[in-house]
Amino acid sequence: MKSVIFKTFIATISLLFTVSETISSQNSSLGIFRSHSDIGNVELAGSVKYNSESSEYVIEGAGYNIWFERDEFHYLWRKIKGDFILKARVEFIGKGVEPHRKIGWMVRNDLSSGSPHVSAVVHGDGLTSLQYRDTSGGETKEVKSEDQAPDFIQLERKGNNYYMTTASCHEPLKTVQIENIDLDDNIFIGLFICSHNVAVKEQAIFRDITITRQRKKRSGN
């Protein structure tokens, strides 16, 4: 009798563990992404070009900044639920106009200009930081990395904690983090560019992109 009760008990226990699921390239004009948008009151429309053979993206966009209480930039995005790891090789195209033009990964609650977000950012002058806005229309804050002008960017979410890991070719990985940022569970994720100048469009190329979803699965014996 005890053996039956024990087996029944074990069978009904739900053990949570993480299962990784990498989202692979899909047969569409945007690969693994769903759409792209100008965020905020952008004067010059952005664009995305996707090379299905190399799985590379060229993103062009303008925008005054991603800072203070509102943002302007071009965003290539999809939605995802739960925890994730985002990876990409990134590179500006050309010398650029503004030293604080920006590229990287961004996750945000919605497509409004003042949405809460977390962004793994590389600036044109090499500054690298994990930027965030934790309330709608609130101030933007950042945690700076020691890294300078990396070409690899990873952004990871574990619950309400976010980790940016970066590296340049043949250099050690560097990680910075922020904690207790309460963004939506089902969230926009994507790649972005901001020219930091409303009258200028900049371009960047994004390669070796992977989106890995960390799903929670229930199991019993």
Element (H, E) at 12: helix 2-12
The pLDDT tens digits of the residues spanning 136-169 come to 999 999 999 999 999 999 999 999 999 999 999 8
pTM for this model (two decimals): 0.89
Instruction: In whole angstroms, give the CA distance from residue 137 to residue 71.
Output: 10
The pLDDT tens digits of the residues spanning 30-62 come to 999 999 999 999 999 999 999 999 999 999 999
pLDDT at 23: 80
The pLDDT tens digits of the residues spanning 101-124 come to 999 999 999 999 999 999 999 999
Contacts 24+ apart (CB under 8 A), 164-173: 164/120, 164/130, 166/120, 166/122, 166/128, 171/147
The beta strands (E) that lie in the chain are given as: 15-23, 35-39, 47-51, 56-61, 66-67, 70-71, 73-81, 83-93, 102-108, 117-123, 127-133, 141-148, 152-158, 161-167, 174-178, 186-194, 202-219
Sorted by where each starts, the structural domains of the chain and their CATH numbers stand as 2-219 (2.60.120.200)
Q: Indicate whether 13 pLDDT > 60.
A: no
Instruction: In whole angstroms, give the CA distance from residue 195 to residue 102.
Output: 7
